[in-house]
Structure 1
Amino acid sequence: MAAAALLLPLVSAGPSATAEPPGSGALQREFAAAADRYHVPESVLLGVAYLQSRWDTHSGAPSVTGGYGPMHLTDARTALAEAPHHSDGSEDARGDTARPLAVPVAAAPAAPAAAGLPARLRTVDRAARLTGLPAEEVRTSPAANVRGGAALLAAAQRELGEPLSADPARWFGAVARFSGADDTATAGAYARDVFSVIRAGEARTTDSGQRVALRAVPGLAPDTGQLARLGLRAGDASETECPATVSCTWIPAPYEEFGDGDYGNHDVADRPRSQKIEYIVVHDTEGSWDTTLKLIKDPEYVSWHYTLRSSDGLIAQHVPTKDIAWHAGNWYVNAKSVGLEHEGFLAAPDAWYTEAMYRTSARLVAYLAKRYGIPLDRQHILGHDNVPGTTTATVPGMHTDPGPYWDWAHYFELLGAPFTPSGGARADVVTIRPDYAASRPPYTGCESAGTACAPHGSGAVRLRTAPDESAPLVKDIGLRPGGQDSTEDVNDTGARASTGQRYAVAGRQGEWTAIWYLGQKAWFHDPRSAPAAVGARAAVVTPRAGLAEVPVYGRAYPEAAAYPAGVPVQPVSPLPYKLLAGQRYVTGGEAPAEYAYAVTFDPASHQVVRGAERYYEIQFGHRVAFVKAADVEVRPAGR
């Protein structure tokens, strides 16, 4: 489902070429040596590298935009575009049976020639010329990569007519230039982020075991006036809804009518007056930035509200948040959500996201959450892979991005809502929280079906039928109605719990913890020496006394009596799962019974149907679901 539009390196890098020099302080010494050689303040060099990669090397693999090494120097020589994201699989991105869409078809843009790629995607070659090192070495050797980054910063400083000063405050313009952004707002936002890192300081152990530290420089006030001398264009942020701390540009999705009353690619609405916005949905694009922007401009394609660029964190807004975009595959969720597409690939774990994109995304989400009163938790900040199918028939075709390699723990730290224990060691509820770097469950299917994926950090845990590594994975009867076992495929969410998701504890045995999951007891390895979860406190639902089981729904639609004349009654269709007596599931709170009727181009006929029925949202499996309030009782947060 996810092998699309990859940016490929000129050559592949083998492990031997990317091995760090011996000693956990070697990379720190390389930063110091490169800073000294090119007369760049070490704090500036470290700050830029942190924003690019958090000082990781990713075993020499390129990022989404063909960036290599700690400095994220780029060599995106070849861009291959295949099936675009929402043309993959069988999911109807709109997710409304009253106005179903065929799976959209969009032609993939032709791959650009190397000379046609922007300079921000070709920095390896320039770094090689400046250092005299072979381009392959700049890509594959962390030491050469750091030297290349320092040389580029020094060159940018000289081009500005600035001295190679030891004062980091004199380097704001050079840092902004390093971003590769072609507009003032994006370059300035990037540089401000770098200097924010320098002021606060950072320290961490990298993915290759290197300990790197940047000593804080509090009170550092860079010369931001240098930005005006870069000759960059002014971005168009006039119609955007973004916080002032990010760079945002307006690239509208067309709202157009065509043939036989059909229209696309979103619905005009009046949220939050018409309906409260309750969710933010995180997607990855499964395509490059340029491909994604071409698709959003197609009136016969689908839509989302924002796209985020990996190289520098630039945000493009396409649909006003008051309007309903077609992105999540579930109309109830679409009508109450904002969709964010991130430049990236689910099944390419080493096509890594930059820190710049994680940070701007987190700022945008925090801004939207505050504006619309959305809780900062995993039952309201959803991955596309957490959105439920609307009916039994749609469950198998639901999308699975951003997948097990999205770093939810780091993302929520940036949101200011880290997943810390709120309950004791024997709490009745747990929050899934493995160590992202150390947790490397095996996956298959990244390159071809059944083929092992490269080992990589993951925020997900596997769920088994018994407390034993040899026990089968739990089944998902929605994904596999025939009762077949779940698999380790990267797109198989049937036996997976993800960082930040909360579940009621169903048992403990030795180093294993069981949770209630899809109507069954599911075990995950949770040793005290390397815990995969932390204790939590959260309200749970359980069937009312006397009920052996209650149905589970993929949308919270009103009862038939609530629909006015002229609006077709939407079926309240249960999913194939059951919530059984004695089981408990964490609730994200009440979900109003609503249906947004919008099936025509003219919004004059649009209306929101509200019912007396009440629902609760629950964390039922890897995806959220809904149960009727009349069927369950709510129990308060446990110990």
Structure 2
Amino acid sequence: MSHPIPRTAAILATATLLTTLTAAPAQAQPDPTTQRQRDFTAAANEFKVPENVLLGVAYLESRWDTNAGTPSTSAGYGPMHLTDLREAGAATSHHDEGTEDARGDDARPATHPQARPTAPPPTLQTVDEAAHLLGTDAKTLRTDATQNIRGGAALLAKYHTGQSDWYNAVARYSGSADQSAAQTFADEVFDTIKAGTARTTDDGQQVTLSPTPDLVVPQHADKTPAGVECPRRVTCESVPAPYQPLPKDDYGNHDLANRPESQKIDHIVIHDTEGYWANVLDLVQDPTYVSWHYTIRSADGLIAQHVPTKDVAWHAGNWYVNAKSIGIEHEGFAAKGTWYTEAMYRSSAKLVGYLSRKYGIPLDRAHIIGHDNVPGTTPLTIPGMHWDPGPYWDWSHYFDLLGAPLGGFGLPGSSLVTIDPDFTKNQPAFTGCDGSGTSCVPRGSEAVVLHSQPSESSPLLVDTGLHPDGRASTMDVSDVGSRVATGQRYAVADVKDDWTAIWYLGQKGWFHNPRGARVAKPAIGWVVTPKPGLATVPVYGRAYPEPEAYPANVTVQAITPLPYTLSAGQKYSSGGVVGSEYYWATTFDVADHVVVKGKLKYVQIQFGHRIAFVKADDVRIVPAF
């Protein structure tokens, strides 16, 4: 039995929340771009819901977007995120797909765990409840934004069971059975009401939530369980991943360590689960499966920690990156026509902000990376590397939430650019979201596609690692071989009319960058280029030490170049100099674990869609002009 969330009637009285509405000037033809604003006003009046409460809830669910009628990662539709789980299909974790070894350590056999397909949890079906209240059908509520808003207002009115404030109704609307998580959702809604916000939605609607500066948002005691590493005002729980021996001298499902004393943590890796919350949490508790540090729930932003950040989880498919990163999974799907909720974005941004401060991780796209930005370890592993969270993760909005906005910091004509398209207007024609070759629903994306010539009709670039047969990359949603992402920085190689070329995997990659609709902004920073006299320099997927650095009882790890060319005259954005390291952890007994540190220095670079490393002795690091 759930307990009611404590009321704060004196603080959150309905009278405080109601905004003053002023009569709009008479218009013969109402502005079509403000129809959604009028829909919120009408629904609020019809169901006696404070308009700012209705707007605040919708913003925390969808940011008032329609998302082209596609469901969210928790099967929610429309601005009010009415859930219809019948429309969602079975799913498995992305760790089961492809050939990627999540551990990514050549010193141990590859791990290829398997999970059974699972259906979404049959717990939320608010679209039926709303349809009953309105006397309509589920399809109408999924596809008609006006009716969707009415349905959400009707549900809020039903949940408002006579109390003098709307806090409990908002908390219940989250759909969370966890009292603290529902409370966190309500807190975020009321924070938004207090601050106010305005934006143009994905379908061109202008919506404004006026601020209520006198609103006092309730403060709650921190209920984070002991030992869980979590920011305040976000609900977290502990769901530990097991560290235990297995038959045949194996063990699972992560490695104990002593970071950052033993190794500096350089990266935070953003993943999506490709599966549903309950199933994914079952998997991470399986000692024969793989692991990650945190999972974040779509509906309400609940955070579960599985592995202490001092320890090394098996999540990125590259052991060097695993040993120096924290992995965060987000309930959702990279391509199945789904979108990520604002509640999850906000919880994730608070967690990443907390971790970046704790470990001194820069808030930039060289260090806050997607799984799709993690390099293959050797030529053979590149084709199987994963590509989540996919091209529909809104990096620009995410970094705004982090307080570290992307783009726009360089001088015009800079030789370095930051990729920064308008997310809602940038809609590449991807295929394969719902089956091979099928066209994806047109929708906003953080990805910019590169061409081999300054023409939309020219072929895409060739990624010889991803496509060893030499064929050009494709528009398949999983093919990252000719694609750049929001926030990534690249050196300019050429400019022709409205087209800009950047250095990318040893080639010139062209993208349309017209005046007035720039998809890349001038940047400041450092670039690397081969030292004089070197025609080419090798590129690596990991920064391993020289052989002489290894003690006698540790197997030397090969420094294997990737199948790309970084040639004289080319330049690539620098992510900083890093030392060479290898974490020898092949037995259950931590006494046998060794951190090997060499004299070799590497420079992290943005080489293609993924990061890479070059030896510092092979390159010059120069400022971009």
| Other-structure match for 1:56 | 65
Secondary structure at the residue paired with 1:302? coil
Which of 187, 212, 216 is the aligned partner of 2:182? 187
Query: In the aligned structure 2, how far is the partner of 1:224 from the partner of 1:555?
Result: 45
Query: In the aligned structure 2, how far is the partner of 1:216 from the partner of 1:276?
Result: 42
Secondary structure at the residue paired with 1:352? coil
User: Is the counterpart of residue 434 in structure 1 residue 421 in structure 2?
Assistant: yes
After superposition, residues 281-320 of structure 1 pair within 5 angstroms as: 281-320=269-308
Q: Deviations over 1:88-123 (max 9, x none)?
A: 0000000000013232122334x37xxx722xx211
Amino acid at match of 1:141: D
Q: Deviations over 1:36-61 (max 9, x none)?
A: 12211101110010010000112222
After superposition, residues 300-379 of structure 1 pair within 5 angstroms as: 300-348=288-336, 350-379=337-366
Contact 2:75–2:88 at 8 Å: present in 1 too? no
| Other-structure match for 2:147 | 144
| Other-structure match for 1:95 | 104
Amino acid at match of 2:470: G
Which of 73, 95, 99 is the aligned partner of 2:82? 73
| Other-structure match for 1:204 | 199
Give 1:128 shift: 2.3
| Other-structure match for 2:466 | 479
Q: Deviations over 1:162-193 (max 9, x none)?
A: 14xxxxxx222221121122223211211111
Query: In the aligned structure 2, how far is the partner of 1:400 from the partner of 1:137?
Result: 34
Query: In the aligned structure 2, how far is the partner of 1:102 from the partner of 1:142?
Result: 45
Give 1:133 shift: 3.2
Which of 30, 33, 37 is the aligned partner of 2:39? 30
Secondary structure at the residue paired with 1:50? helix
Query: In the aligned structure 1, how far is the partner of 2:417 from the partner of 2:184?
Result: 37
Q: Scaled by the length of structure 1, what TM-score is found?
A: 0.91
Contact 1:173–1:224 at 8 Å: present in 2 too? no
Contact 1:270–1:322 at 8 Å: present in 2 too? yes
Query: In the aligned structure 1, how far is the partner of 2:590 from the partner of 2:106?
Result: 18
Secondary structure at the residue paired with 1:125? helix
Give 1:129 shift: 2.7
Label 1:211 to 1:253 Cα distance change in 2 as closer, same or farther (>3 A): same
Contact 2:485–2:609 at 8 Å: present in 1 too? yes
After superposition, residues 486-505 of structure 1 pair within 5 angstroms as: 486-505=473-492
| Other-structure match for 2:160 | 157
Give the percent of matched residue pairs that are identical in Structure 1 and Structure 2: 59
| Other-structure match for 1:84 | 93
Contact 1:171–1:222 at 8 Å: present in 2 too? no
Give 1:288 shift: 1.2
| Other-structure match for 1:278 | 266
Which of 606, 618, 621 is the aligned partner of 1:631? 618
| Other-structure match for 1:117 | 122
Query: In the aligned structure 2, how far is the partner of 1:78 from the partner of 1:578?
Result: 46
Label 1:451 to 1:78 Cα distance change in 2 as closer, same or farther (>3 A): closer
Contact 1:108–1:291 at 8 Å: present in 2 too? no
User: Is the counterpart of residue 444 in structure 1 residue 447 in structure 2?
Assistant: no
Label 1:235 to 1:124 Cα distance change in 2 as closer, same or farther (>3 A): farther
Give 1:25 shift: 1.6
Amino acid at match of 2:298: S
| Other-structure match for 1:13 | none
Give 1:520 shift: 1.3
Give 1:154 shift: 1.8
Give 1:597 shift: 0.5
Contact 1:560–1:570 at 8 Å: present in 2 too? yes
Query: In the aligned structure 1, how far is the partner of 2:106 from the partner of 2:482?
Result: 28
Give 1:364 shift: 0.6
Label 1:82 to 1:547 Cα distance change in 2 as closer, same or farther (>3 A): same
Amino acid at match of 1:431: T
User: Is the counterpart of residue 395 in structure 1 residue 382 in structure 2?
Assistant: yes
RMSD: 1.7
Q: Deviations over 1:373-430 (max 9, x none)?
A: 0011111001000000001111111111111111111111111111131212211100
Label 1:606 to 1:561 Cα distance change in 2 as closer, same or farther (>3 A): same
Unpaired runs of at least 5, structure 2: 1-29
Secondary structure at the residue paired with 1:552? coil
After superposition, residues 217-296 of structure 1 pair within 5 angstroms as: 217-222=212-217, 237-296=225-284
Contact 2:224–2:230 at 8 Å: present in 1 too? no
Give 1:81 shift: 3.0
Query: In the aligned structure 2, how far is the partner of 1:506 from the partner of 1:79?
Result: 44
Give 1:563 shift: 0.3
After superposition, residues 526-605 of structure 1 pair within 5 angstroms as: 526-605=513-592
| Other-structure match for 2:391 | 404
Give 1:82 shift: 4.3
Query: In the aligned structure 2, how far is the partner of 1:420 from the partner of 1:80?
Result: 37
Query: In the aligned structure 2, how far is the partner of 1:205 from the partner of 1:257?
Result: 54
Query: In the aligned structure 2, how far is the partner of 1:421 from the partner of 1:77?
Result: 43
Query: In the aligned structure 2, how far is the partner of 1:575 from the partner of 1:427?
Result: 29
Query: In the aligned structure 1, how far is the partner of 2:453 from the partner of 2:341?
Result: 38
After superposition, residues 12-27 of structure 1 pair within 5 angstroms as: 23-27=32-36
Contact 1:172–1:224 at 8 Å: present in 2 too? no
Secondary structure at the residue paired with 1:616? strand
Secondary structure at the residue paired with 1:450? coil
Give 1:504 shift: 0.6
